Amino acid sequence: MAQVRSLQKIMAFLSANNTAAVNNSDTRLAGCFLLGIPGLEDLHIWLSILFCTMYVAALAGNSILICVILSQPSLHEPMYIFLSMLASTDVLLSTSTMPKALANFWLSSNHISFDGCLTQMFFIHFLFVAESAVLLAMAFDRYVAICSPLRYATILTSTTIGKIVAATLARSFIIMFPSIFLLKRLHYCRVNIIAHTFCEHMGIARLSCSDISINVWYGLAAALLFTGLDIILIAVSYIDILRAVFHLSSQDAQSKALSTCGSHICVILLFYIPALFSIFAYKFWGRHIPRYVHILLANLYVVIPPMLNPIIYGVRTKQILEGAKQLFSYLIKESK
């Protein structure tokens, strides 16, 4: 009933403004309407408070982390450079979705232009692929540090880090840029309502009355060939790391290394599992899983990892804590 009421509300709005999408040109001019979380309309306010709290925590934690790393010369090392990249990606990923979702929940601002929807879709997927690459780079950094500590400085030079950053951005752009043209080539003749809080590739494609099989297989190939490869390489890295840890003679060193690796693996799983579920649910299990489950998980993967990463990677790192104390001490002195 809640979903029906929401659909009736948007259809009435469309009718009142004469913007219902009936053909390709009208759809592009009318834009799209984001339905939010169909079936959970009565919980939108409570969900928005939860999402807002996590979003603010993610912004605050990652912003502090970035400032600490940039302000402390002692933290200008590969591990912390990758950590600042992860924090920056987290801020951008959550910001590409949450403000619009909260505006929808609080202000009923559910309209987004067609080009705006494509732009949001591009950045969400671009940043997801980029974050996946950053997590892989961080796993490689830990692998070299633990398995080949004597070669660490010669392998992870500033030139190598620069190449990793460039490769991360280039790969993400190359993977996701074709999706814009794959969507623009489609003929849109259905009502332009997306049952989601933000624009996804398949969510937009399903508005079309054209054959979207190319879109489906392209999205699947991108997820399996690139993100899947990242997951495999991260898993291999941590398996080798754990092998090296178990060969350490000190029990204390083993405990610390296992604690750190365990926390990192938990964050990695929290990032990948909801995201991959969101991708594959559209393609294979859409009819068997309640729509709101898919949408909730899709929203959680853009706020929970960004909220937890500063805690897992930052607060539990002694150098980060010391840097944060120095930064806040400096700010307090300057404010007096």
Amino acid at 87: A
Mean pLDDT of 330-336: 71
Query: Residues 192, 30: contact at Cβ < 8 Å?
Result: yes
% of the chain at pLDDT higher than 90: 22
Query: What does the pLDDT look like over 251-277, one tens digit per residue?
Result: 777 777 777 777 778 778 878 887 777
Residue 283: predicted pLDDT: 60
Mean pLDDT of 185-197: 81
Residue 190: predicted pLDDT: 67
Mean pLDDT of 139-164: 89
Q: Look at residue 24 and tell me whether its pLDDT is greater than 60.
A: no
Query: Residues 38, 10: contact at Cβ < 8 Å?
Result: no
Mean pLDDT of 96-114: 88
pTM for the model stands at: 0.86
Q: Look at residue 316 and tell me whether its pLDDT is greater than 60.
A: yes
Can you give the three-state secondary structure of the chain, one letter per residue?
CHHHHHHHHHHHHHHHHCCCCCCHHHHHHHCEEECCCCCCHHHHHHHHHHHHHHHHHHHHHHHHHHHHHHHCHHHCCHHHHHHHHHHHHHHHHHHCCHHHHHHHHHHCCCEECHHHHHHHHHHHHHHHHHHHHHHHHHHHHHHHHHHCHHHHHHHCCHHHHHHHHHHHHHHHHHHHHHHHHHHHCCCECCCCEECCCCCCHHHHHCCECCCCHHHHHHHHHHHHHHHHHHHHHHHHHHHHHHHHHHCCCCHHHHHHHHHHHHHHHHHHHHHHHHHHHHHHHHHHHCCCCCHHHHHHHHHHCCCHHHHHHHHHHHHCCHHHHHHHHHHHHHHHHHHC
Residue 87: predicted pLDDT: 92
